[in-house]
Amino acid sequence: MTDGPLYNSILLGGRGGTNSGQLRVHAGGIAWKKQGGGKVVEVNKGDIVGVTWMKIPRTYQLGIRTKEGVFYKFTGFRDQDVSSLTTYIQTNIGVTPEEKQLSVSGRNWGEVDLNGNMLTFVVGSKHGFEVSLADVSQTQMQGKNDVVLEFHVDDTTGANEKDSLVEMGFHIPNSNTQYVGDENRP
């Protein structure tokens, strides 16, 4: 498939940082290729269960959620790309992109949303951050109220970030009734 809009300098974000590449959205799905070769991400139309737009500093981020519970983040779209690509996705992929808002308040409390492999931290109905549980090497309970996630340290992904997340701890007060018992261990 070579039809459909093509976007250059689109960053694929994830563990280890971001990689720049080329994203094509076509009638059969999406395809992203890393600049200079290497990593390729292809998602078939039928595997796309959700599409989101989020305004982030200076640019827009397109989120693609798959049937398998993977969430791809593509960053680097201009204002004018958003409406044209929204229309294209609606028409050709049959999914209506939703608008998500980034939390900028700087709070460290919110809700935890588990969807497939993704753990999303939601602050007052806005998007805080997300991490992939597939990268968690160990989960520990500390005391009655704390859960600590340890992340794989991976040097092979061509990581371009200077500071890499290795551990993250959540505090779940007794007043929280959403997660009890074993569900504390996602």
Question: Which stretches of the chain bind another protein, using CB under 8 A?
Answer: 11-18, 55-58, 61, 73, 75, 102, 104-112, 121, 128-132, 145-146, 148, 153, 160-173, 175-179
Minimal distance in Å, beta carbon 107 to another protein? 6
| CB 63 to another protein: min, Å | 11
The nearest distance, CB 46 to another protein, in angstroms, is: 26
Could you give the CA distance from residue 84 to residue 170 in angstroms, rounded to a whole number?
39
Which of 91/175 has CB closer to another protein? Answer: 175
Per-residue 3-state assignment (H helix, E strand, C coil) for 15-42: CCEEEEEEEEEECCEEEEEECCCCCEEE
Residue 33 or 45: the one with the smaller Cβ distance to another protein is 33
Contact indicator for 132, 14 with CB cutoff of 8 Å = yes
Q: What is each CA distance from 121 to 3, 9, 46, 56, 102, in whole angstroms?
A: 36, 28, 27, 16, 11
CA distances (Å), origin 136, targets 22, 105, 122: 29, 27, 19
Q: Which is nearer to another protein, 90 or 107 (CB)?
A: 107
Whole-number minimum distance, CB 128 to another protein, in Å? 7
Nearer to another protein, 49 or 148 (CB): 148
